[in-house]
Amino acid sequence: MSRAPRIAVAVFPGTWSERDFAHVASTLGWEARLVWHTETDLGEPDAVVLPGGFAHGDHLRTGAIARFSPVMKAVTDFAAAGGPVLGSCNGFQILCEAGILPGVLLRNDHLEFRCDWQGLRVEHAIGPWLNDLAAGEPIRLPISHGEGRYHADAATLDELERSDRVALRYSDDAGMVSADANPNGSLRSIAGIVNERGNVLGMMPHPERASEGELGGTDGLRLFRSLERWLVAQPAAAERRL
Amino acid sequence: MRWLAEVHVRLQPGIADPEGQTIAGGLRSLGFGSVGEVRAGKLLRLVFQAADRAAAEAAIDSMCRQLLANPVMETADWELLVDDDPGDEATA
């Protein structure tokens, strides 16, 4: 791919991380287009981001109303065609409500909103979003959520593990997974998962908030670098017009 | 006809409910030591139009399945009444 990557960042009423994603994209020389939730055309992106926030006020359930926004039809089609989609925090909640990813995010087990740096262990280091990382590697990213407790029935959890679709687990800074290192009570310490095809990643942490050294860490930047590498390696996918 | 539905949305049994546990702890600390499990949920009160009871039941059932509850974690049950309160708003 010769031109700069182009990402579409969906914006719902109450989304709060869209400009952070656009800012990181601009520091990399990428093009980022903010797409209001009533729009139906994503504008031929290479990848789509559903950022964090409180879409539609999180009313009824997180992501429950956002799922019906017109832009979600385009996001669903883009994902179904194999396009790279990243849902972070509220974006992960929306992907689950929309049925693009399995499971649901419940109130944190301690009922507190948790805003902190969090250790994570990379479990699934392939695909468009994580290929620049290594399986088993510990990373640190910020979390910022009140409803991040991943839940799915046991059969779904077993299937996620069997098919290597658990992407990230909460851990200490050395990558050790334990109940103490789990910030919200997520089942099996799950912090992020991918869909069957591997092109859609949902994760509670915020990579866009850890992409510049001044902010305390750059592990998040590696998700952007992963996408860049993936697009270069798959010119056919990158040049696809969806 | 105008109908009033009260929809109770509950977390499925077996799913940890920290809100209910916290409420139970509060009640016990107030001296209600006999309080056992508390489960928190949501009550939604809807006013809507439907031709007859069968149509109203079909509508509320569909609303629950499509939006009001997420079957991954919740259950929904409802009570349906003829709404005779002129103060309620329902579109024809």
pLDDT tens per residue across span A136-168: 999 999 999 999 999 999 999 999 999 999 999
Which of the residue ranges A64-68, A121-125, B87-91 would you say has the lowest mean pLDDT?
Answer: B87-91
Which residues of B sit within 8 Å Cβ distance of A? 11, 15-16, 18-19, 22, 67-68, 70, 72-73
ipTM value for the complex:
0.85
Supply B12's token pair: 């499925």
Active site residues of A: 89, 206, 208
> Is it the case that residue A57 has pLDDT exceeding 50?
yes
B42 to chain A: closest CA residue = A60
B55 lies in some domain: yes
In a domain, B10, yes or no: yes
Chain A: nearest CA to B72, how far in angstroms? 6
- Please give the residue of chain B at the shortest CA–CA distance from A152: B72
Confidence of residue A241 (pLDDT cuts 50, 70, 90): very low
Interface residues from chain A to B (CB-CB < 8 Å): 60-61, 64, 68, 96-97, 102-104, 106-111, 151-153, 185
Give how far B18 is from chain A: nearest CA, Å. 6
The answer to whether position A1 is within a domain reads no
| Residue in A with minimal Cα distance to B9 | A60
> Residue A240: is its pLDDT beyond 80?
no
Nearest by Cα to A87 from A168, A9, A190, A13: A9
Domain count along chain A = 1
- Band of the pLDDT at A3, cuts 50, 70, 90? confident
* Confidence band of B90 (pLDDT split at 50, 70, 90): low
User: What does the DSSP assignment read for A182-242?
Assistant: -SS--GGGEEEEE-TTS-EEEESS-GGGSSBGGGTB-TTHHHHHHHHHHHHH-HHHHH---
pLDDT in tens, B21-59: 999 999 999 999 999 999 999 999 999 999 999 999 999
- Please give the Cα distance from B24 to B20 (Å, whole number): 6
DSSP single-letter state for residue B24? H
Residue range of the domain that includes A97: 6-239
Query: What phi, psi does B20 have (nearest 5°)?
Result: -60, -40
In a domain, A221, yes or no: yes
Best of A96, A110, A153 to mutate (most B CBs within 10 Å, chain B): A153
Q: Is A90 exposed, middle or buried (0-12, 13-18, 19+ CB in 10 A)?
A: buried
- Residue B76 belongs to domain spanning: 2-14+40-82
Instruction: Give the model confidence (pLDDT) of A186-230 as tens digits.
Output: 999 999 999 999 999 999 999 999 999 999 999 999 999 999 999
Number of helices and strands in chain A (H, E): 6, 11
The answer to whether residue A59 scores a pLDDT higher than 80 is yes
Q: What percent of chain A has pLDDT over 70?
A: 96
Is A7's pLDDT higher than 70? yes
Q: What is the pLDDT of residue A107?
A: 96
Q: What's B45's domain CATH number? A: 3.30.1280.10
Domain tally for chain B? Answer: 1
> By three-state DSSP, how is residue B5 classified?
strand
CATH code of the domain in which A18 resides: 3.40.50.880
Does residue B31 belong to any structural domain of this protein? no
Name, in order, each residue with C-beta under 8 angstroms of A164's C-beta and a sequence gap of 6 or more: A123, A124
Residue A146 inside a domain? The answer is yes
